[in-house]
Homo-oligomer: A and B are copies of this chain.
Amino acid sequence: MLTQTLPQTPGEAWAKIRSGAWRGVTSGVAPGFVQANLAILPRELAFDFLLFCQRNPRPCPLLEVIEAGQVEPALTAPGADIRTDIPGYRVYEKGQLTGEVDSLLGLWRDDLVSFLLGCSFSFEAALADAGIPLRHQEMRCNVPMYLTNIATNPAGAFSGPMVVSMRPVPHDKIVRAVQVTSRFPATHGAPVHIGDPSVIGIRDISRPDFGDPVEIRPGEEPVFWACGVTPQAVALNSRPSLMITHAPGYMFVTGQRDADYAVL
């Protein structure tokens, strides 16, 4: 039977997820430690995807690449196993979702390269610390995400529009929101747009393309950050023979602290 107690450290999270003793969305797990998005691709696509991330650091802040034949995130999570230490995975073949699994042991191949990318949990903690309200957390829903008219810089097989997440920010907090998120380029960094959604090609702010709509109150502006859904969407657009990701909300917990990634 699954316990409801959240693992408090990365090591506890890896062990309990691996053994099946705990499973759940990882929000709140190992507070203060960076959580990561996962994308796994066959080796023949690895150079292009790595280059895509290098060219698009805001939507694709790369934390670590685990080379073909290896399964340990030796730099960001020594001792962990990328095949077993995430509570849920999604498997895509030729761009189509073909399965959800809780372990990759049965699917693993030695030609798979794993990419860990920064996620918004880290900068949301920094925003909350700075007294900036997070409407989607108040409303207990997902952050709203939108396709934009901002083109990513293409690389090889990979191209497509940037996906952004939106958080309403009161006017007197907008400058501070830019400052605190600028300190974390490894987890999307500064906003990509502030204000009028139509400027970045969003027609109806009340109808997000992913996630849930949230209320924008009088005296607030919508503020948009590059979103980690971008690399997944772009990779799936190219219809790779195989791509594996984390399941939504089931992130990989790294052994590194949010503060390790602050630039100043």
**Interface on A for B, CB 8 Å cutoff?**
46-47, 50-51, 53-55, 62, 64-65, 67, 75, 153, 155-156, 179, 182-183, 185, 189, 263-264
A234 to chain B, nearest CB (A): 17
Which applies to chain A's interface (DSSP): helix, strand, loop or mixed? Answer: mixed
A264 to chain B, nearest CB (A): 5
Q: Judging by beta carbons under 8 Å apart, are B67 and A62 in contact?
A: no
A185 to B64, CA, bound (A): 17
Chain B minimum-CB-distance residue to A51? B65
Which residue of B62, B153, B155, B182 contacts A54 across the interface (Cβ within 8 Å)? B62
Q: Judging by beta carbons under 8 Å apart, are A179 and B50 in contact?
A: no
Which residue of B50, B153, B263 contacts A51 across the interface (Cβ within 8 Å)? B50
A136 to chain B, nearest CB (A): 26
> Which of A47, A54, A62, A183 counts the most chain B CB atoms within 10 A?
A47
A189 to B264, CA, bound (A): 10
**Which residues of chain B come closer than 8 Å to A53, judged between CB atoms?**
54
A183 to B51, CA, bound (A): 24
A45 to chain B, nearest CB (A): 11
Which residue of B55, B62, B75, B179 contacts A264 across the interface (Cβ within 8 Å)? B179
